[in-house]
Amino acid sequence: MSTTDCGCGCGGAPAFPAAFVRPRFFAGQLLTEDDLTLLTDYVAGKDRLHNRTLSGPGVVCGLEVSCDSCAGGTVLVHPGHALDCCGNDIVLSCKEKVDVQALVRELRVSSPGVACGDPCDDDQRHFGLFVRYEESMAGPVAPFATEEPCPSPGCVPSRVEEGFRFVVKCDPTDDHRYNPATKLLARIGDKDAYEHVRLLGRRLGRYLDPMAVAGGSSTRPITFEKDDFVRYHDNLALLKAAGDTPQPPEARQQTEYVRALASAVARYDTYDEAGQQELRSQYEELGAIDSAREALGAACDRLARTDAEQVWPEPAHRQIALALLAEVKSRVVTLDPDAPIERRLLAQGTPVNNVLEAEFRADLVRLREWLLGRLDRVAGVEDCRLHDDVRKVAIPQPLPIPEPDQMQRLSIADLGLLTDAAGKLTTYVRRFVTDAACSTLNPPCTDCADNDVLLAHLELDGCDVVRVCSATREQVLPGGSAYGEWLPKLYQLRHFAEQICCQPIPVYRPPSVPVGGPIPRPYVPRLLEDWRPRDPLERMWELLVTPAPGETVPKPVREQVYTVPAEVTDSLQEMNALRGQVSDLVATVEALRGQLDTARQQVSQVRDELPERLSDRLSELENAPEAEAADSEAEDDEEQAEKPKPPPRRGRSSPARGGGTARKPRSGETS
């Protein structure tokens, strides 16, 4: 059974044959040279395939290279066994002396564009000594006469001798080893780009559960327990003892004190008056909670005077810290009763202001575009529904990054859409990376471009070999030298793979909350610290991309970079501005519709409240003009009848009743 996507193998042949065919013998069969040749080809082909895929190229044993006892340009190669990348066996049965000077001269002559001359004229050079598999025909035999129309003249070789020859080439050489990170990065793409996406996904992951609870239970208190009181007591004391001009390390620590204390105070503020009174009776220090607000205000003013970029070099952490200071000042230091969602987010230690909300919207766009870009470029994804799932995600409308504004508040609808999109996209990123990481457990087959086997690195000074090094040549390992770097990590990778690969598709589910009473929610720890990997997928990623001592560097990823013209970005900004204007017009039209409905209701109410007699009187007044007009018409007709009629004029029709043209009937009359 053949395939259409075959890699290039040895000598231009496919890396894998379409099918192995062996002869089948039976009694009375006429055997020809084709049958016997097929048998030898089958056995030799199977041996080469096993050598190529199970062992790989390199030195099996022996073949040490040493200096010759006689000074000069020769070395000694000791007996041994090697395999080339085509699976051919190279066997050296006895020690041989190799004339490196002659091989260097041969290299210079055969190299295009190089002047032919004495190799001893060169300065110090480095070369590689290789052994190459060769076949030669031997054992000529005269064939018997056959019925072939064109018989072979003379003798025909009856044997194929497997041999070798030594060659010298310039260093360095290709490395056949397989680094599993090469396949991983081929799917993930640029490592730095994914690290940024992973950082944004981690930040959204820290906010997922708090946003789901704050949006779904914006009127219920967050529990204030003993741990919250301990955090309140300890961090209040630390802030009161803090210095006035904190340096970056102290500023980061004081920001954590502010976050912890503000979380405890915000939890207290989510209770009603009766609940707060009960907390004060249980924890007496809460009676002086105004002092905690004053300490928070002083700490926020003190931290606002520091350089945020110097304190928080990472932008993802910097925006959280700035949002924290802004929210504490506007929601906790000065109690804001009209911001229940922001207060419950602070109670869990995850502040969100209008700037951070806009950044979250932009982060969701980046995550979705990165996922779609990778899925469009990568072939062979094993998660078959991932591409369609990513396209179906409803992304909140991205907004330009605004200035901090404490009057801007989160709505339940916007927060729900933000939480839903963040929960889906962070899960989809995890699904894609899991698929890519699990695929590294299946090493790819490599093509054979060069079947020379490196024996040693040679250092020449003129025509003399001055140094021989065989320590860094490829060795045949169990499973093949191509997997030499993959095997040490195999057992750890298998351990992580059992936990994440071939498992049910992950789905984000918001935390469950009790039906009534305060909601028990933990304080989010280490929000402003480095988000280190904890789960098996993160540890699997770190194991794959972190090189071990002596490990080769993964092959670079080369992809076409797509740039967006400035005209397109300007058009997108104008489109966003027009979308904002359309939204304002829609809101204005909806408001006018509401006013019109209110006016109609008022008119209907007035009609219902009018007395019945007044309604009759209105009807009489409406019909009165028509009756008076009818009476006046009747009187005019009587007067016209009493007067003498003038003689009719000729040539014109008279407008009188006796004329040729009738008067048009008035309203209410019959023709």
- What does the pLDDT average to over 8-24? 67
Is residue 595 classed as helix, strand or coil in its secondary structure? helix
Residue 195: half-sphere exposure toward Cβ, Cα within 13 Å? 7
Which residue reads 């192995």 in tokens? 20
DSSP result, 170-215: ES--------HHHHHHHHH--HHHHHHHHHHHHHHHHHHHHHHHHH
Indicate the burial class of 5 (C-beta count within 10 angstroms; 0-12, 13-18, 19 or more).
exposed
With contact defined as beta carbons under 8 Å apart, do 409 and 365 qualify? Answer: no
Residue owning tokens 């009960």 = 278
Does residue 587 have a pLDDT over 60? yes
The DSSP annotation for 395-406 comes to PPPP-------T
Which residues are CB-neighbours of 410 under 8 A, at least 6 positions away?
341, 342, 352, 357
HSE (side-chain half, CA atoms, 13 Å) at 327: 34
CA distance 438 to 382: 10
Mean pLDDT (whole number) for 285-302: 93
Average pLDDT for residues 624-629, to the nearest whole number? 55
Tokens of 656: 């009188």
**Tokens 């397989």 sit on residue:** 178
What integer is the mean pLDDT of 63-90? 86
Of 238, 303, 302, 243, the C-alpha closest to 264 is 238
Asked whether the predicted pLDDT for residue 640 surpasses 50, the reply is yes
Q: Using CB atoms within 10 A of its CB, is residue 650 exposed (0-12), middle (13-18) or buried (19+)?
A: exposed
b/e 41-64 (16+ beta carbons within 10 angstroms → b): eeeeeeebbebbbebbbbbbeebb
In 3D, which of 552, 443, 489 has the Cα closest to residue 174? 552
d(CA 368, CA 359): 14
Q: How many CA atoms lie within 13 A of 212 on its CB side?
A: 19
**114-128, 400-414, 646-660: which has the minimum mean pLDDT?**
646-660
Angle at 383 between CA 377 and CA 384, to 5 degrees: 85
Mean pLDDT calculated for residue range 338-355 = 92
Inter-residue contact 303 to 243 (CB < 8 Å): no
Per-residue pLDDT averaged across 350-365, rounded? 94
The answer to whether the peptide bond before residue 172 is cis (omega within 30 degrees of 0) is yes
> Is a pLDDT exceeding 60 seen at residue 80?
yes
CA dihedral for 451, 455, 458, 463, sign (positive or negative): negative
d(Cα 19, Cα 45) in Å, to the nearest integer?
Answer: 11
CB 458 within 8 A of CB 169: no
Residue 311 pLDDT: 93
Residue type, 386: L
Phi, psi of 239 (to 5 degrees): -70, -35
Name the most confidently modeled range: 119-128, 132-141, 341-350, 622-631: 341-350
Burial of 464-490, coded b for 16+ CB within 10 Å and e otherwise, reads ebeebeeeebbebbebbbbbbbbeebe
What element of type H or E holds 468? strand 464-469
pLDDT over 80 (residue 605): no
222 touches 340 (CB < 8 A) = no
Distance CA(131)–CA(10), nearest Å, equals 16
Average pLDDT over residues 537-543: 85
Provide the percentage of residues in the chain whose pLDDT is more than 70: 78
The arithmetic mean of pLDDT across residues 184-201, rounded, is 92
pLDDT greater at residue 354 or residue 670: 354
Q: What span, in angstroms and rounded, lies between the C-alpha atoms of 430 and 201? A: 9
pLDDT at residue 571 is higher than 70: no
Taking the C-alpha atoms of residue 162 and residue 244, their distance in angstroms, rounded to an integer, is: 84
Residue 199: which pLDDT band, with cuts at 50, 70 and 90? very high
What pTM, to 2 d.p., does this model score?
A: 0.68
DSSP letters, 1-67, are ---S---B-GGGSBSS-S--------TT----HHHHHHHHHHHHHHHHHHIIIII-SEEEEE--EEE
- Beta strand 96-99 with 89-92: parallel, antiparallel or unpaired? unpaired
pLDDT of residue 357: 94
Closest by CA position to 345, among listed 169, 212, 509: 212
The residue with tokens 């779609």 is 372
Q: What is the per-residue pLDDT across 553-566, written as a single tens digit (0 to 9) for each?
A: 777 766 655 444 55
310 pLDDT above the threshold of 60: yes
pLDDT of residue 212: 94
Q: DSSP letters of 349-393?
A: T----HHHHHHHHHHHHHHHHHHHHHHHH----S-TTHHHHHHT-
Give, in order, the Cα–Cα distances in Å from 492 to each of 372, 484, 486. Answer: 30, 15, 11
DSSP symbols for 406-438? TT----HHHHHHHHHHHHHHHHHHHHHHHHHHH
Over range 253-259, report the average pLDDT: 94
Look at the alpha carbons of 508, 514, 518, 522 in this order and tell me if their dihedral is positive or negative. Answer: negative
Residue found by looking up tokens 């995600």 in the block: 393
Angle at 332 between CA 331 and CA 335, to 5 degrees: 70
- Closest listed residue to residue 56, CA positions, set 84, 31, 23, 90: 84
What residue has token string 């309604």? 615
User: 3-state class of 138 per DSSP?
Assistant: strand
